[in-house]
Amino acid sequence: MGKEVIIDWQHVDTIIDKYNSNREALLMIMQDISDIYNYLPPEVIPVLVDKLGIRKSQIYSVATFYKTISLEPRGKYIINICTGTACHVRGANKILETLQESLEIEEGETTKDQLFTLEAVRCVGCCASGPVMTVNKETHGGLDRTNTLEIINEYKEQAS
Amino acid sequence: MLKLKNREALNNFRNNILSKHQEKDKKLISLCAGSGCGAYGTEKVYQTLTEELAKHNLQDEVEIKLTGCHGFCEKGPIMVIHPEGIFYPQVKETHIPNIVEKTIKNGEIDKSLAFKDHITKKKIFHEEDIPFYKLQQRIIFGNNGMIDPTSIKDYISVDGYTALDKVLFEMTPDEIIDEIRKSGLRGRGGGGFPTAVKWDSCRKHEGERYVICNADEGDPGAYMDRSLLEGNPHSILEGMLIAARAIGSNQGYIYVRHEYPLAVKNIETAINQAREIGLLGKNILHSDFDFDIHISRGGGAFVCGESTALMASLEGNPGRPRAKYVHTVEKGFRQSPSLLNNVETWTNVPVIINKGADWYSRIGTEKSKGTKIFSLVGKVVNTGLVEVPMGTSLRTIIFDIGGGIPKKKEFKAVQTGGPSGGCIPKEFLDLGVDFDELAKVGSIMGSGGMIVMDQDTCMVDVARYFLDFLKEESCGQCNPCREGIKQMLAILTDICKGNGKEGDIELLEEIGGMLQKFSLCGLGTSAPNPVLSTIRYFREEYEAHIRDKKCPAGVCKPLFHYEIDPKACKGCQACAKKCPEKAITGEKKKTHILDRQKCIKCGICYDICKFNAIIIR
């Protein structure tokens, strides 16, 4: 799937050093690496084994337990549609359907052009502004079908 | 920044800031930069405002303060102009030239931009007069709108760290715990356990003790912790410092959600500033007391809000809870005595120390003292964060502060306590909300989520929604939780699809009872609550789904269809224009026709019709 990722090993080292190779910080180290590549490239795992002095199985058990870590490549823009209770009663499902139709992917999938990954999350804590979605680190509130499609188009334009 | 060497230095530092404040008779524009307002575009408003002030050469005379959440998130982005307290809701970039010209330069209020009350339809100009704020008592949350959360000076200027000063130099650890005991403070994360009892028992166990802040706010629909982390992070640090002094701890941790980037950033900034100035670190204010705080980010697992799971996660492991034969105050993080309290609990601590337990315990009910912040969301006019004394009735919160239900719809239920809570119907609207009252009707106050539901909410779907949530979030360790939730969800999904059968309700009750008795942790034991409480109060809705194959609220798609009421339809064509499937046809001023073959039940016509002519059958 997709193109090869070239890993900046120096950057990875800096991240591990920032946490003093502390094995308790494993999750945060993986999150910081994911922030660069939008997923945790499996090539990094042997390095983590070495530097943190923990077993590979431990790394996989943490990586697969927490939702913020993905071992599969994800798109340039990660859309998190909030399906928390407040957003749910205000129609988050309709927004999710709109996104699925327009991006032609299901929840949890990435578009063929590697531009968008669509994920549903439970509550981003902007409950008064629901329905809400976040695209990477930007938050968009008060969504309906029309403005959702507009926002997606803006990101498409940004990328082209 | 200079390191504060002792308590005199802290006092002088504060006096210095205050005297500078008095010197300049500046206008202050407070602009909410919390996540809610941010989602509506605070950033752009701020940029335009800065440019516009520079254009008028006012940048030195007017101060702009980007604050944390003001609570009235429905109306974001929110702007308040001080000292008058002029309130502008839903500010857009295009409004800025007018605001600068009229209000900033000439001191006039732009009435067209002012807040309009939903009920009286009158314009209200000042923040303090708005019913949403007027009926609240914001002892914890009030400073959010006044301070820049990234400035320790701002926090110190509003009596920040005076409580720390007091406990370090005027109180013994026993006296601190006694004061908290007398205040009657109970844990705000949902459990309601007496805070002083927890502190006291942690102190009695030997070992390296840890003070931990639970900022893994996972309840969908609750976001008060986020707003405190973003808007007043130093108050959390101060609360933790006080507890650390009381129990004899030198190390603290804040476990915060990765999904709250601004909260992580602001709390990080606060910790760095406190270290720099000497309020965290070694020998704080020359008192021989050492304490430092570290941040750990969660990874999107709801179960990590449970104390033992949170501590497992802090240690770098998957967040799986363990049975609590031995409490975490004895053996928690790193097998050491650990004191875990939630964000809101921590922020109550400095207030109690400063104002005294006697003052504090006069607020609230007999067994639940103080105030509670609720996140009032869902189908309610004024959504946002509301801080009221414990014991305030649901009716006051939803109808007086919240302004009632939008679009003249009927109130149906309020869901409290997140996935562990239940749905409360209208006959209990006069109940006072505290730790004990809501439990009597099958729900809990929990961490303070309050999701209002109207006639268009299907209670079976809500129950299904929560179980779907919990199925994802169950850690899978114990059978009752893992398998029980899955089976209950399967039954509910069948009911919502029209495949429900007689006996399903009883089966749900039976499995639910089993989960309550035999699950390992709180996630499993409370998981059936949303189902059981909706069965208790809305059984007829379940029966309509199962027997009549109807969803009265019009949510479960296989169980309803839309029709046009010929008596109500005015032929305005609004629905026909918006229908994505062209399923509605009709000439102007003549009754429209809806083609059920083409209709995909998207609900756009139902939402858009002003004459209630689209009906659910």
* DSSP secondary structure letters along B436-476: THHHHTT---TTSEEEEEETT--HHHHHHHHHHHHHHH--S
- For residue B24, is pLDDT > 70? no
Task: Tell me whether residue A139 is in a domain.
Answer: yes
Average pLDDT, chain B: 94
Average pLDDT, chain A: 91
Residue B235 token pair: 């108050």
Q: Which residues of A fall within a CB distance of 8 Å from B301?
A: 65-67
Among A53-57, B82-86, B182-186, B331-335, which is the least confidently predicted range?
Answer: B82-86
Task: Tell me whether residue A84 is in a domain.
Answer: yes
**Distance in Å, alpha carbon of B532 to nearest chain A alpha carbon:** 18
Among A81-95, B166-180, B226-240, which is the least confidently predicted range?
Answer: A81-95
Do A95 and A134 lie in one domain? The reply is yes
What's the pLDDT tens digit per position in B387-440?
999 999 999 999 999 999 998 899 999 999 988 899 999 999 999 999 999 989
- For residue A1, is pLDDT > 80? no
Segment B458-470 shows an average pLDDT of 93
In A, minimum Cα distance to B381 occurs at A128
Highest mean pLDDT of the ranges A59-63, B70-74, B407-411, B470-474: A59-63
Do A82 and A125 lie in one domain? The reply is yes
Name the residue facing A142 among B40, B223, B302 (closest C-beta).
B40
Dihedral of CA atoms B306, B312, B315, B317 in degrees, nearest 10, equals -120
Instruction: Specify which residues A81 forms β-bridges with.
Output: A120, A133
Percent pLDDT > 90 in chain A is: 72
- For residue B69, is pLDDT > 50? yes
Task: Tell me whether residue A3 is in a domain.
Answer: no
What pLDDT sits at residue B25? 66
Do A20 and A88 lie in one domain? The reply is no
Residue A36 token pair: 């660069």
Out of 3.40.50.300, 3.40.50.12280, 3.40.630.30, 3.40.50.11540, which CATH number does the structure's domain B152-361 have? 3.40.50.11540
In angstroms, rounded to a whole number, what is the distance separating the alpha carbons of residues B67 and B32?
5
Q: Does domain B371-454 have CATH number 3.40.47.10?
A: no
In B, minimum Cα distance to A139 occurs at B39
The domain that contains A142 carries what CATH number? 3.40.30.10
Beta strands (DSSP E) in B94-176 are 115-116, 123-124
Beta strands (DSSP E) in B509-604 are 562-564, 584-585, 593-594
Contact of B398 with B452, CB cutoff 8 Å = yes
Instruction: Say if A149 is an interface residue toward chain B (CB within 8 Å).
Output: no
In A, minimum Cα distance to B455 occurs at A89
Do A50 and A86 lie in one domain? The reply is no
Q: Compute φ and ψ for B18, nearest 5 degrees.
A: -65, -40
Residue B304 token pair: 């990590």
The fold adopted by the segment(s) B459-546 is de novo design (two linked rop proteins) (1.20.1440)
DSSP state of B99: I
- For residue B23, is pLDDT > 70? no
What's the CATH class of domain B24-131? alpha beta
Q: Which residues of A fall within a CB distance of 8 Å from B333?
A: none
Kindly determine whether residue A128 and residue B259, on different chains, have CB atoms separated by under 8 Å. Answer: no
**Residue with token string 């004061």:** B179
pLDDT band at B242 (very low <50, low <70, confident <90, very high): very high
Task: Tell me whether residue A4 is in a domain.
Answer: no
Segment B36-61 shows an average pLDDT of 91
Q: Compute φ and ψ for B427, nearest 5 degrees.
A: -65, -15
Q: Which domain holds residue A144?
A: 77-159
What's the pLDDT tens digit per position in B276-295?
999 999 999 999 999 999 99
Instruction: Say if A51 is an interface residue toward chain B (CB within 8 Å).
Output: no
Do A59 and A83 lie in one domain? The reply is no
Do A84 and A49 lie in one domain? The reply is no
Q: Is B159 exposed, middle or buried (0-12, 13-18, 19+ CB in 10 A)?
A: middle
Q: Which residues of A fall within a CB distance of 8 Å from B73?
A: 126-129
Kindly determine whether residue B377 and residue A128, on different chains, have CB atoms separated by under 8 Å. Answer: yes
Per-domain boundaries in chain B: 24-131, 152-361, 371-454, 459-546, 561-616
Instruction: Say if A151 is an interface residue toward chain B (CB within 8 Å).
Output: no
- For residue A145, is pLDDT > 90? no
What pLDDT sits at residue B404? 95
Name the residue facing B301 among A66, A88, A127 (closest C-beta).
A66
Q: What ipTM score was computed for the predicted complex, to two decimals? A: 0.92
What pLDDT sits at residue A3? 55
What's the total number of domains in chain A? Answer: 2
Name the residue facing A24 among B222, B316, B384 (closest C-beta).
B316
Instruction: Say if A25 is an interface residue toward chain B (CB within 8 Å).
Output: yes
- For residue B87, is pLDDT > 70? yes
Please name the CATH architecture into which domain B561-616 falls.
Answer: 2-Layer Sandwich (3.30)
Kindly determine whether residue A86 and residue B378, on different chains, have CB atoms separated by under 8 Å. Answer: yes
Do A57 and A88 lie in one domain? The reply is no
What pLDDT sits at residue B420? 87
DSSP state of B227: H
Kindly determine whether residue B316 and residue A27, on different chains, have CB atoms separated by under 8 Å. Answer: yes
Do A135 and A105 lie in one domain? The reply is yes
In angstroms, rounded to a whole number, what is the distance separating the alpha carbons of residues B119 and B205?
56
What's the pLDDT tens digit per position in B357-373?
999 999 999 999 999 99
Q: Compute φ and ψ for A53, nearest 5 degrees.
A: 65, 40
Collapsed DSSP state (helix, strand, coil) of residue B70: coil
Do A118 and A150 lie in one domain? The reply is yes
Do A57 and A113 lie in one domain? The reply is no
Do A50 and A93 lie in one domain? The reply is no
Contact of B87 with B115, CB cutoff 8 Å = yes
